Structure 1
Amino acid sequence: MAFLILVVTKLSETYVETIPFNVTYQNLPETKIITLDSTPKVNVTVSTHGFNLLSYYFQNYTYKLDFENITSQKDNTYIWTAEKGSYSLQGQLGQSVKIISVKPDTLILPFGTLSVKSVPVVLKSEINYAIGYDTLEKVEVIPDSVKIIGAEEEIANIEFIETMLLDLNDIKTNINTTIGLELSNQSKRLKLSEEKVTIKTNVEKFTEGTFEIPLAILNKPNAVEINYFPKYIKVSYYLSLKDYKQVKPNDFKIECDYNEAIEAGASFFVPKLIINSDKVKSAKMKQNKVEYIIIK
């Protein structure tokens, strides 16, 4: 009983305490965004009975900063003063609480004009297919671009948005998955029109084939006779198993430029492989030099 009386007596006394308020924004114009790196706070020092202060120890308080009524504007900055905001604070605290001071007594709130910019999505991936499997198609990103919403000066230099890392191993089946977009290196104030994108591609069984392809000598004058070796170069190519029978030797050309060799003073041609089939994913020659001599 004595303890209870003591507690009631203490809580009946007047105390001075500082209460922190997190600031939130109210009635901020839709075309504007505050460009501070962190949300501001105000510390309100009050005088009141202990009973009134007791509730402040068990909850976080938020002060709604009203841009229509209690701020002024200068250039690209909103200015809030405790003098203008004290009435709103007092209403939130109640008439039994006396405000002694508000720190800081002024908030400088720079703002930018909201802008929208469309940028491509770049897939960040490490995809390893199982042996004998691959994809002929480009891995598809859906959608392939997104809109960034934020202050004009903040999005001006953003040229693309990367996905989170897509790490896949031993892939034998079609890829169809969703993955988030990477905004960690950008301002937290920026918003994206899409939070995730879909990644798709068809995975097929692949095989390798080889052809002996004849060489074509370009730009050789009619009056010049040359002998060169080899006359054919073996080409190995990589493609989907289902397309294997559709690819023929005439889908490949190997060309050597006579003028190029003469201008370089070289005793050999550098052959160039030309692929004329969209069914071939890659191809390479087994030889990268062609020796030649001028007969006359």
Structure 2
Amino acid sequence: MTTLKRRRFKKSSVKTFSFFLVFSAIVWVLVQFSKTYTQLIEIPVNYLNAPLDKSISEDRPGHVDLQLQDNGFNIYYYRIFNPELDIDLSKASEKENRLVYTIQNNLTDIEAQLKLDFEKSRIIQEEIVVPYQYKKEKMLKVIPKIDITYAVGYSAEDPVRLKPDSVKVSGPEKLIDTITSVSTVALKLEKVNSNLDGKVKLDTTGLGRLSFYENSVNYFQKVEKFTEGSVELAVEVINVPDDLNLAYFPKSVIVYYQVNLKEFENVDASDFRVVCDYKSVKGGDDYMLAQITEKPAFVNNIRLNERRIQFVIKR
């Protein structure tokens, strides 16, 4: 019986001791956090309302230093949640290619944002100096990145058109002088069987310092019913030396083409020309490459059934 009582007493003592230990620790933490401290805290800044004719430099200050005199709870809050400060550059003055934002002139706005009393705390910097460059305007050619796959029997005679095909941008002179064009975002269209008429955004990746007057352009294309045709043509060999007896095979090839159904009857074999240039033959080769040098303007997707033309030189 004596042994059991001692064990119960010891367990009870440990629980009591642990309770008072935890309680003491909590009280100590509360006391410490209730004390007033002075800490230097970096407050990130965002810049708003930059003048339209100016581009602010990447070397602008990224933060202000706040000397905060407050209890530990508030200091802990600022360190953990790290509030940001919005700097309205429309309230800055201009001095020698710099925008100067004076802290003292804007204390009311800063206090409201940071929820601080500047009787006990202060921002170390007296002013925020933001270098700038005057913006330069330029027209950039828009390059379409539109991948089109047509439905069977459909195609287009003309490439995709953009409207506008150029856009105005403004930005730092050093940056804007290095670029001449901007592309659209990648757009993939499949099984197209009707006229295209849509809108696509510009890809401004990496061009964040430029201001675009247009963020998207319209695209158009006339899509029509097409059919495939073919003609057989004699192969013409040019630039063969007069003293060379050249025999080649095949003597003719088949040209396959795609044409608007309305233009099919207007295609004639005489509108095509297939040529092999003997001068282009590399040493040791026994073949020439046939090329289509003439074709009607209204046909497309042209191909040959055979490009390699074998030859032998007769002695």
Q: Identify the TM-score tier after normalising by the shorter chain.
A: 0.7 to 0.9
Tell me how far apart the structure 2 counterparts of residues 23 and 222 of structure 1 sit (CA, whole Å).
79
CA distance in 2, matches of 1:46, 1:268: 85
Give the secondary-structure state (helix, strand or coil) at the position aligned to 1:245.
helix
TM-score w.r.t. the length of structure 1 is: 0.73
Determine helix, strand or coil for the equivalent of 1:154.
helix
2:234 alignment partner, one of 180, 192, 214: 214
- In structure 2, the residue matched to 1:251 is 271
Report deviation, 1:175: 0.1
1:247-286 pair list within 5 angstroms: 247-261=267-281, 264-286=283-305
Structure 1 unaligned segments of length 5 or more: list them: 1-14, 48-59
1:31 aligns with 2:26: no
Partner Cα separation in structure 1 for residue 295 and residue 280 of structure 2? 23
In structure 2, relative to structure 1, the CA distance for the partners of 1:196 and 1:204 (3 Å cut) is same
Map of 1:76-91 to 2, 5 A cutoff?
A: 76-80=97-101, 84-89=102-107
Contact 2:61 2:129 in 1 (8 A): no
SS at 2:307 equivalent: coil
CA distance in 2, matches of 1:205, 1:269: 36
Give the equivalent residue in structure 2 for 1:67: 92
Tell me the number of residue pairs that the alignment of Structure 1 and Structure 2 aligns: 261
Cα distance change on mapping 1:99 and 1:144 into 2, 3 Å: farther
Structure-2 residue corresponding to 1:50: none
Find the counterpart in structure 2 of residue 54 from structure 1.
Answer: none
CA distance in 1, matches of 2:230, 2:66: 81
Change (3 A) 1:146 1:34: same
8 A Cα contact 1:23 1:39, kept in partner: no
8 Å CA contact 1:45, 1:101 repeated in 2: yes
Q: Superposed, which structure 2 residues align to 1:1-296 within 5 Å? A: 31-36=53-58, 64-65=88-89, 66-68=91-93, 72-73=95-96, 76-80=97-101, 84-89=102-107, 98=119, 100-187=121-208, 189-261=209-281, 264-296=283-315
Query: What is the alpha-carbon distance in structure 1 between the residues aligned to residue 139 and residue 275 of structure 2?
Result: 43
Determine helix, strand or coil for the equivalent of 2:264: helix
Answer 1 or 2: which has greater helix percent: 2
Q: For residue 67 of structure 1, report the CA deviation from its aligned partner.
A: 3.2
1:150-176 CA deviation, whole Å, 9 max, x = no partner? 111232322321112223222110001
The normalised TM-score by structure 2 is: 0.69
Distance in 2 (CA, whole Å) between partners of 1:105 and 1:92 is: 13
Q: Once structures 1 and 2 are overlaid, which stretch shifts more, 239-248 or 197-206?
A: 239-248
Letter in 2 for 1:255: V
Aligned-partner residue type, residue 204 of structure 1: E
CA-based RMSD of the aligned residues comes to: 3.6
4+ aligned runs moved over 6 Å, structure 1: 15-18, 20-23, 43-47, 91-94
Which structure has the larger Rg? 2
SS at match of 1:294: strand
Cα deviation for residue 201 of structure 1 reads 0.4
Residue 5 of structure 2 corresponds to which residue in structure 1?
none
Q: Equivalent residue of 1:264, what SS?
A: coil
CA distance in 1, matches of 2:299, 2:125: 68
